């Protein structure tokens, strides 16, 4: 059984204001993530997934057509927890050189990431990942996650409407700009790169 306190925010709900409001974080972390956790617990109870660690649930249920609802909720628990760890008060700043070198500089990386994130149709995610030896940008739809494909996430941006609509309405591009300029926890990204 999983619980919301296993996936805590690393900062106060109002710490990202004005770029992300306490209301958004309360709704996103306190309600959306909590619902995915409850659904995962309810759906996996009495199944072979009931006592598995989260990552194992994701990798196993991704290959099990009968467990799509379990996968969707497990992946969303992981995706959201990872996204919240990618946020920090007074974030932004210097992008790791390992990333900027791949994209030909910080400006090129920012442009490519913004294009990818803005281009997600409907609900989904924009990621910086390590795929084998390569660092690249990828997007996933709905609850899909790089870890289900054996790819290591380094950075995640949630572009489901619930991530930004209270603060930005339909201005996803403004949310992406604010994320990159003011909220990214590059120290967390570096720790993922070095893991």
Domains of the chain: 21-85 (1.10.287.990), 97-194 (3.55.40.20)
pLDDT of residue 122: 92
SS3 for 49? coil
Cα radius of gyration rounded to whole Å, the chain: 16
Query: Could you identify the residue written with the tokens 């390590």?
Result: 130
CA distance 22 to 27: 8
Location of structure tokens 């990202």? 16
Model confidence pTM above 0.85:
yes
Q: Could you give phi then psi for residue 3, rounded to 5 degrees?
A: -140, 155
What pLDDT is attached to residue 96?
96
| CB 169, CB 191: distance < 8 Å | no
Residue-level pLDDT, tens digit, the chain, 195 residues: 899 999 999 999 999 999 999 999 999 999 999 999 999 999 999 999 999 999 999 999 999 999 999 999 999 999 999 999 999 999 998 999 999 999 999 999 999 999 999 999 999 999 999 999 999 999 999 999 999 999 999 999 999 999 999 999 999 999 999 999 999 999 999 999 998
Q: State the Cα–Cα distance between residues 73 and 71, nearest whole angstrom.
A: 6
What pLDDT, on the 0 to 100 scale, is given for residue 195? 86
pLDDT of res. 175: 97
Cα 24 to Cα 172: distance, rounded to the nearest angstrom: 14
Q: Which pLDDT value is given to residue 156?
A: 98
- List the 152-158 sheet strands across, edge first: 134-141, 124-131, 152-158
Q: Which of 76, 82, 84 is nearest to 10 (CA)?
A: 84
Distance of CA 24 to the CA centre of its chain: 15
> For the chain, where are the alpha helices, taking DSSP H only?
22-27, 34-44, 54-61, 68-85, 97-103, 106-118, 165-168, 172-178, 186-194
């Amino acid at each position: 059984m999983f619980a919301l306190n296993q996936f805590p925010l690393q900062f106060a709900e109002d710490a990202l204001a004005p770029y992300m409001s306490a209301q958004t974080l309360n709704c996103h972390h306190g309600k959306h993530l909590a619902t995915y956790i409850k659904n995962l617990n309810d759906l996996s109870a009495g199944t072979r997934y009931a006592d598995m660690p989260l990552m194992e649930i994701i990798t196993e249920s991704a290959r099990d057509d009968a467990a799509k609802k379990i996968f969707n909720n497990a992946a969303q628990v992981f995706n959201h927890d990872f996204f919240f760890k990618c946020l920090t008060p007074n974030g932004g700043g210097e992008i790791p050189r390992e990333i900027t070198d791949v994209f030909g500089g910080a400006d090129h990386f920012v442009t490519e990431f913004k294009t990818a994130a803005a281009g997600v149709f409907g609900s989904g995610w924009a990621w910086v990942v390590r795929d084998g030896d390569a660092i690249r940008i990828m997007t996933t739809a709905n609850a899909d996650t790089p870890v289900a494909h054996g790819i290591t996430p380094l950075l995640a941006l949630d572009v489901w409407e619930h991530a930004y609509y209270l603060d930005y309405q339909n201005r996803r591009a403004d949310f992406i700009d604010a994320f990159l300029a003011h909220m990214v926890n590059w120290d967390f990204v570096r720790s993922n790169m070095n893991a």
